[in-house]
Amino acid sequence: MSKRYFGTDGIRGEVGVFPITPDFMLKLGWASGRVFARSSSSEGRCLVVIGKDTRVSGYMFESALEAGLVAAGVDVKLLGPMPTPAIAYMTRKQNADAGIVISASHNPFYDNGIKFFGADGSKLPDEIEHAIEVELELELATVQSRDIGKVLRLDDASGRYTEFCKSTVPEGFSLRGLRIALDCAHGATYHIAPSVLSELGADVITMGVEPDGFNINEGVGSTDLSALGELVRQQGVDLGIAYDGDGDRVLMVDQNGDLIDGDELVYIIAMHRVATGSSDAGVVGTQMSNLGLELALQDAGLQFARAQVGDRYVKQMMEVNGWHLGGESSGHIICSDVTTTGDGIVASLQVLMALQAAEGDVTALRAGITMCPQTMINVTVNGKVNLEDYPELQTAVELLEGRLGGQGRVLLRPSGTEPKVRVMVEGQDSEQVEALCSELAQEVERILT
């Protein structure tokens, strides 16, 4: 069944444009509360925790969701500004029936969205999202006054999550002697990530830690590494780390300010696990993962499987295969033996353990992987599109694959979070890859618009 509101990662869009409106969020809180209450395994009242990133619209949507939930008879705990993975963690630790995150992740401040976690701290399965959409079609009816939910604000949530992050590295692990430039994107990690790294002993230089409600992801964070790269070069630090606005992604730059993308970070973690004897048989990536990652893992004796794009699909394939490591090029990295979802801070600590084992030599960590030239262009479209409805596009893809001579990949994929179609071409020759990607993007734009 197709879903009307839910995309790859929750519900997302421009603030003030349906469905990202206060009245819809009120109804969404009520509808989801009814679904969670029915599926609750607790003997008491249903409990939902709510966190948000630093967007100014988060206040408005927090209030609307809270009202809808209590109208459905659900108790609420408000966590305030917290990274998305922190909500997953606190959902489990508070024995809540669900967690809600108000965030549009890496999008600009004028977008916002809602993401859900189940009681186990994992993204909701499709059937629960369908059930919520069914409830959204019903007329809102408040429970009797004696059954209305109660609301509590949890003031120490950030401290609890900080301690959890530090607990994911071995006792006695230290970052002393390591200088790190840290970019928090003026987002949800601004008050947590600097504490985690500095309390583990690192010398931390920060940027993107002054959110004002409007500057989230603006020229900072994992979607724009230029400022971080410049800071690394100016300060002569060992490494730069960048999170996105809600803290579930991480990318890095080396001591020269050059990008270390999500595929390379997954490789570094995988090789550290091989070296320490804690590796599984394989790693999960996505359709967008670079061919170089697949070849490098195979050279190391590891299997590689590709899931649909989206961290919940990566997680599902990890569970099917019995593997504990997976990730996306964008920096969503899941270490399921440590936590339940993609977590930028936790993933960066996994990389830092590998870096300390390599005595700070980033170049050595990347030596075994050669990234294939890959170009991606986002084509803006009007709303959701089903690419299968356009046979011309399939023909265009097949023609391009023929021109690559079997030495590359072509992928078209509608974004699950934005009105865009992602056009990706990968091959052996960078100039050819760029030219073919540009050519295909123009064809996609012509056919779809």
With H, G, I as helix, E, B as strand and everything else as coil, classify residue 286.
strand
Nearest by Cα to 283 from 291, 293, 275 = 293
Please, are residues 86 and 345 in contact by the beta-carbon 8 Å criterion? no
Element holding 84 (H helix, E strand)? helix 84-93
Single-letter code of the amino acid located at 319: E
Q: State the Cα–Cα distance between residues 25 and 405, nearest whole angstrom.
A: 50
User: Helices marked H in 238-310 — which ranges?
Assistant: 262-275, 291-299
**What is the Cα 196 distance to its own chain's centre?**
19
CA distance 404 to 337: 39
Q: What gap in Å lies between CA 383 and CA 390, rounded to an integer?
A: 15
Q: Which is nearest to 19 in space by CA: 156, 182, 132?
A: 132
Token digits for 277? 């004897």
Q: What residues pair up with 376 in beta bridges, in sequence order? A: 424
> Could you tell me how far CA 423 lies from the centroid of its own chain?
20
User: Tokens 């590494």 map to which residue?
Assistant: 225
Distance of CA 289 to the CA centre of its chain: 15
How far is 8 from 102, CA to CA, in rounded Å? 15
Instruction: In whole angstroms, give the CA distance from residue 410 to residue 159.
Output: 45
> Left if phi > 0, otherwise alpha if psi is -120 to 50, otherwise beta: which for 185?
left
Instruction: Classify residue 11 as left (phi > 0), alpha (psi -120 to 50) or beta.
Output: beta
Q: Which two tokens stand for residue 3?
A: 């879903």
105 in active site? yes
Distance of CA 20 to the CA centre of its chain: 20
Of 57, 103, 105, 348, catalytic: 105
Measured in Å, how far apart are the chain's first and last C-alpha atoms? 26
Q: What angle do CA 252, 8, 40 make, to 5 degrees?
A: 110
- Token pair of 83, please? 């990274």
C-alpha 65/C-alpha 21 separation (Å) is 11
Q: What tokens does 196 get? A: 């985690």
Question: Any idea which residues carry the catalytic annotation?
Answer: 105
